Amino acid sequence: MKKLQILGTGCPKCKKLFEATQQAVKELGIEAEVTKVEDINEIMKFGVISTPALSVDGTVKVVGRIPKSDELKTMIS
């Protein structure tokens, strides 16, 4: 099972990336744990300065923007 983490302090873009990630997982039909990381100290451990960000299995894939659906699916799968 993939571990997907949305890194962000809870801003509207962070929430939108969380929803888009959940939708992409559903459309791909894969098993994944999608969680939010809102603690700034935890976010900094990933080396992320700008949010929102997406981590797939511990590797940061996108920072500071919400990718389009197709790009998001590619990152996840």
User: Which pLDDT value is given to residue 66?
Assistant: 96
User: Which pLDDT value is given to residue 11?
Assistant: 92
**Cβ-contact 6, 37 below 8 angstroms:** yes
User: Which pLDDT value is given to residue 67?
Assistant: 97
pLDDT tens digits, 12-49: 999 999 999 999 999 999 999 999 999 999 999 999 99
Domain boundaries along the sequence of the chain: 2-65
| From 3, 9, 10, 11, active-site residue | 11
Q: What fold is seen in the domain 2-65?
A: Glutaredoxin (3.40.30)
52 preceded by cis ω (within 30°)?
Answer: yes
The verdict on whether 14 is a catalytic residue reads yes
Q: What is the mean pLDDT of the chain?
A: 96
